Amino acid sequence: MSEVQRLLCRWTMELASYLMEEYGMEKKAALEKAHLNRNLIMYLGDGVVEFVYVKEDGTERVAQGTLCKGISAKFDGYEFVESKEMPMVWPREDFTYWDLDREAFRSFKASRLLKINAHSAVNCIHDKR
């Protein structure tokens, strides 16, 4: 097992534990939700993903998103500026993605992810920093 695979497994288990503690989910449901989130995050880095989550107001949102450069010119040109206002506290359940419909960043909570409808991998442009 590679180092990346070990880290992904560890992260998945930590997220599942968080979901059980924070939301009282049964172990099986928390593990399934954590694996679904892990898959989504991996797919977002590979191309375009259509997925469904529950918004804060209780409505379902069908989103098309990516974290892959080479798909959206606006995303490709976005420059990240680190903010010291929000401390990174682990485990964090808010995940950000580039919304292809709105051409802007949006986020969802891990506990609210319902399903992945489709995933299409593309040749991403990777920064060579």
Establish if 128 belongs to a structural domain: no
> pLDDT for 7-66, tens place per residue?
999 999 999 999 999 999 999 999 999 999 999 999 999 999 999 999 999 999 999 999
Residue 126 domain-assigned? no
**Would you say 108 and 92 are in contact if contact means Cβ atoms under 8 Å apart?**
no
**Number of folded domains that form the chain:** 1
pLDDT band at 129 (very low <50, low <70, confident <90, very high): very low
Stretch 95-101: mean pLDDT = 95
pLDDT-wise least confident of 19-33, 42-56, 75-89, 106-120? 75-89
In a domain, 129, yes or no: no
The parent domain of residue 107 ranges over: 3-121
